[in-house]
Structure 1
Amino acid sequence: MDANTKPETRTADLYRMVMPEHVCPYGIKSKWLLETNGFAVNDHHLTDRAQTEAFMREHEVETTPQTFIDGRRIGGHDDLRAYFGKPVEREGDTSYRPVIAIFAVAALMGLAISWAAFGTVEPIRTAEWVIASAMILLGLQKLRDVEGFSTMFLNYDLLARRWVPYAYIYPFAETGAGLLMLAGALSWLSVPVAFVIGTVGAVSVFKAVYVERRELKCACVGGGSNVPLGFVSLTENLMMIAMAVWMAIRHVI
């Protein structure tokens, strides 16, 4: 091949819904994925429902978009990701990503608050603010769907199983305690609340996971979570206990 000759660009055929009332986001993602992997895309728009349904019948598929490379059907967006060797999340797969994101943001919030308050990172206060921020963010996830959280929580929490309203109170208690600790206000209220819910939670998780060896999803980031119950939820509860004990000590001192 001549040094000045460019390698031939491969071509892919993409069929995706582009309608006045709906442009398929997975079609947009598929087009971007193909182009960033060096493909020229023959972009075929399915512009109405009848055309889309006729395409799916013809190719015996149930969804769009659909990608074809060298005349061979690759499939939808997830199939295309797999074709390029990228990770694909399947329904039911467990993931720690939501919890990692929450704790990472909480850490950054603690650092930001310390910088705003002192112009530097004050280690002890920063640690307090990180934990309080994590409690607030975790509580917020539960508040997004209290009903879904309560259902998942009842799978393992010992107190909620004996008194169902506790499953509905918990998100408000965690968020409220976190806010009070962030503000350094009403320690007489935030400390016992955090200590009680943290202790009950830690005992419940330890019993379900490490004693009974049950494989459950954690309600720590709300209903519908794919986070496995275990170390993460136990850490959340131990963190609240530690914060409550520390705040009590500091209040006495």
Structure 2
Amino acid sequence: MIHQYQVTGMTCSSCEAKVKSALLTVENVTKVEVSKEDNSATITMDKHIALSDFQKALDSKYQISALNHNEIKEQAKSWFETYKPILLIFLYISMITVLIQLKNEEFNSMEWMRHFMAGFFLVFSFFKFLNLKGFAESYVMYDVLAKKIPLWAYVYAFVELGLGIANLIDFNPIITHSATLVVMLISIIGVLQSVLNKKKIQCACLGAVFNLPMSTVTIIEDGLMIIMSGIMLLTLI
């Protein structure tokens, strides 16, 4: 991906070199060409990078702006490409669990949530098992329990598998949903800390198969399971 930018504030060859050097330090940038005569920078990158990230890398005397592309559109496109795997998984699980409801005379929201949770845990545990060691190494970087007990990073994949099967066969709903609530509440603590502290680390939700950054998407993912398990518990008590 190549984008052109306007860079103001360059007055000499030294400025040109400083701008080029600074832009090359930005993650995912592979090549930079800078011209003080044209006040421009042509940047080659592995994926779209936010304009704010470039500005942070530059000295305050230099200002960078997009020339031939819509920054908002490119960011939206980049966001979708980054999270496409997890979005497709949620779409597939949603479609399948809704289709299951066609056998009922009316939509059963409790059954739908149970099936959705089953699909969620089974699919996500599957990706973790593809590279269990890789998942554990990523998970221990941010999960509060795994940091203290590294073995938990390995056990967690099995817990997700167990929760998926338990929801699928409707095993002791109170125990299943209580366990889900506790496990996901512990999980979301580390996620919240990482996102709020703006740590750039890999999210281990899909194991080590996809390089997904930790973000609000991970919070929503964990939060959804917490909400669903909480609702299911309230209906049983």
Please confirm whether the aligned pair reaches a TM-score higher than 0.5, indicating the same fold.
yes
| 182-191 vs 140-149, which moves further | 182-191
Q: Runs of 5+ in structure 2 lacking a partner? A: 1-80
Contact 1:109 1:129 in 2 (8 A): no
Residues 189-219 of structure 1: CA deviation (Å, up to 9, x unaligned): 3123211221111111111111x21011110
Give 1:155 deviation, angstroms: 1.2
Task: Say whether residues 1:230 and 2:221 are aligned partners.
Answer: no
* Aligned equivalents of 1:141, 1:214: Cα separation in 2: 23
Partner of 2:181: 195
* Aligned equivalents of 1:169, 1:189: Cα separation in 2: 18
Aligned-residue CA RMSD in angstroms? 2.4
The residue type paired with residue 113 of structure 1 is: I
Contact 1:158 1:200 in 2 (8 A): yes
SS in 2 for 1:213: coil
SS in 1 for 2:212: coil
* Aligned equivalents of 1:248, 1:120: Cα separation in 2: 22
**Larger CA Rg, structure 1 vs 2:** 1
* Aligned equivalents of 1:214, 1:226: Cα separation in 2: 15
Partner of 1:250: 235
* Aligned equivalents of 1:133, 1:245: Cα separation in 2: 18
Identity %: 23
Partner of 1:106: 93
Give the total of aligned pairs. Answer: 160
Give 1:124 deviation, angstroms: 4.1
* Aligned equivalents of 2:207, 2:177: Cα separation in 1: 23
In the superposition, relative to structure 1, how do residues 119 and 144 fare at CA in structure 2: closer, same or farther (>3 Å)? farther
Give 1:137 deviation, angstroms: 1.1
TM-score (norm 1): 0.57
TM-score (norm 2): 0.61
Structure 1 segment 89-238 matched on structure 2, within 5 A: 95-116=82-103, 118=104, 121-210=107-196, 212-238=197-223
Q: Runs of 5+ in structure 1 lacking a partner? A: 1-93
- Structure 1 segments, 4+ long, off by >6 Å, are none
The residue type paired with residue 137 of structure 1 is: V
